[in-house]
A and B are shown apart, each in its own frame.
Chain A
Amino acid sequence: MIPKTKNVNPATVTAESIAKSAVVAPAGVASYALGLGDDALILAQRLGEWIASAPELEEDVALANIALDLLGHARSLLTYAGSATGVTEDDLAYFRDEPEFTNRQIFEQPNGDFAQTIARQLVVSVYFAELYRALSGSADPTLAAIAAKASKEVDYHFDHSYQWLLRLGLGTELSHERMQRGLDAVWPFVDELFRADGAQADVAVDPARLRARFDSTVPPLIEEAGLTIPTVQPARGGGRQGVHSEALGPLLAEMQVLARAHPGAKW
């Protein structure tokens, strides 16, 4: 049971405000926040790869905006997770090795082409939207504030990927084919998003409840775009236990190299 603490204002909650407030996450909450923080951090890093490589300059900016929003969520969540053991967001982001990262595997998957990135962003944006909406009612006031703030941002991320889903799905023969291939590539990793992770019931969100919302939301959108809902075997998963696909190592190497070469450097 969480001791009653005063509410945290979602409008002003940031990684800095959490660090300054000296709030300490209870152990069970910290590991939950770590998982969610890793999800957001790894996806932000992945999306950043599109900068200067997207089909048009305007999409560079759109995907970078989404990445920066996710990085903001990651910073708050990791700062809060770190408060339990006295480590900072940078310690967690730059000085953990692959098996210590607890992100689910969908977030580390390579970008593929633009359509595959849109497919992944559609799936995870619906997941994030439902997750953060529910989590804003969490018994933990810091988690609730982070979730309430993130909620508005992921609604926009959803809109961006939904607009592209329609345009690629209903566009040319080639764009349709690529969008379908993108969905097919992402789909094995959907199941893991909704597996139970042993988090405290009053603090965390029940993944089964999220699954029901996902299943009623996403398939109609795919059909609206003239595409087929993939039928594939789910991937093995295990991201929350530190089990990752081969894609994560190179991502971490790129993300961490500078901080490890110059520990404590500021820029």
Chain B
Amino acid sequence: MTSPGDSGKREIWPLWEVFIRSSRGLSHVHAGSLHAPDETMAVRNARDLYTRRAEGVSIWVVPSSAITASDPDAKGSYFESAQGKEYRHATYYTESESVPHL
């Protein structure tokens, strides 16, 4: 890990993903991303960028580099195989006559 300014060149701050909880009881939802030199400043920048109109009661920031995402090119094998498999949904099944209170 190098310190800011070590390279002698103009450096770009790391990217952070911001999650905002809009009110108590709801989950944090991805709001966007921003640059910040460290996690403390990332929370402050998120406050300035994403909660100016009283959108939130809680902020999470996560380094973008810490997120592992599914491969967009593997969309077919990941998500499309569910198509045509209606039996995976509860609505596929009819009620049994012998079970009156289902």
Residues of A within 8 A of B (CB): 56-58, 61-62, 65, 159-160, 163, 167, 171-172, 174-175
**B21-29, B36-44, B83-91: which lies at the interface:** B36-44
**B45-53, B64-72, B74-82, B93-101: which lies at the interface:** B45-53
Q: Give B3's nearest chain A residue, CB to CB.
A: A172
Report how many A-B pairs have Cβ atoms within 8 Å: 35
A174–B4 CA distance with the chains assembled, in angstroms:
11
Instruction: Judge whether B13 and A56 touch: CB under 8 Å.
Output: yes
Residues of B within 8 A of A (CB): 3-6, 13, 34-38, 40-41, 44-45, 48-49, 52
Instruction: Judge whether B44 and A159 touch: CB under 8 Å.
Output: yes
> For residue A175, which residues in chain B have a CB less than 8 angstroms away from its CB?
5
13 residue pairs bridging A and B, Cβ less than 8 Å apart: A57-B35, A58-B13, A58-B34, A58-B49, A61-B49, A160-B44, A163-B44, A167-B37, A167-B38, A171-B4, A171-B5, A172-B3, A172-B4
Instruction: Judge whether A58 and B3 touch: CB under 8 Å.
Output: no
Q: Which of B3, B5, B40, B41 has the most CB of A within 10 A?
A: B41
> For residue B4, which residues in chain A have a CB less than 8 angstroms away from its CB?
171-172
Closest 7 CB pairs of A and B: A172-B5, A58-B45, A62-B48, A65-B48, A61-B48, A58-B34, A58-B35
A65–B51 CA distance with the chains assembled, in angstroms:
11
> For residue A167, which residues in chain B have a CB less than 8 angstroms away from its CB?
37-38, 41
A170–B35 CA distance with the chains assembled, in angstroms:
20
Q: How far is the CB of B49 from chain A (nearest CB, A)?
A: 6
- Contact residue among B35, B44, B52 (Cβ-Cβ distance under 8 Å from A56): B35
Q: How far is the CB of A154 from chain B (nearest CB, A)?
A: 15
> For residue A174, which residues in chain B have a CB less than 8 angstroms away from its CB?
5
> For residue B35, which residues in chain A have a CB less than 8 angstroms away from its CB?
56-58
Instruction: Judge whether A65 and B52 touch: CB under 8 Å.
Output: yes
> For residue B34, which residues in chain A have a CB less than 8 angstroms away from its CB?
58
A171–B3 CA distance with the chains assembled, in angstroms:
8
Given A61-B45, A163-B40, A172-B5, list of 8 further CB < 8 A pairs? A58-B34, A58-B35, A62-B44, A167-B38, A167-B41, A171-B5, A174-B5, A175-B5
Instruction: Judge whether A58 and B36 touch: CB under 8 Å.
Output: yes
> For residue A160, which residues in chain B have a CB less than 8 angstroms away from its CB?
44
> For residue A58, which residues in chain B have a CB less than 8 angstroms away from its CB?
13, 34-36, 45, 48-49
> For residue B45, which residues in chain A have a CB less than 8 angstroms away from its CB?
58, 61-62
A57–B12 CA distance with the chains assembled, in angstroms:
11
Q: How far is the CB of A52 from chain B (nearest CB, A)?
A: 16
A163–B35 CA distance with the chains assembled, in angstroms:
16
Q: Give B47's nearest chain A residue, CB to CB.
A: A156
> For residue A57, which residues in chain B have a CB less than 8 angstroms away from its CB?
35
Q: Give B13's nearest chain A residue, CB to CB.
A: A56
A171–B35 CA distance with the chains assembled, in angstroms:
18
Q: How far is the CB of B53 from chain A (nearest CB, A)?
A: 12
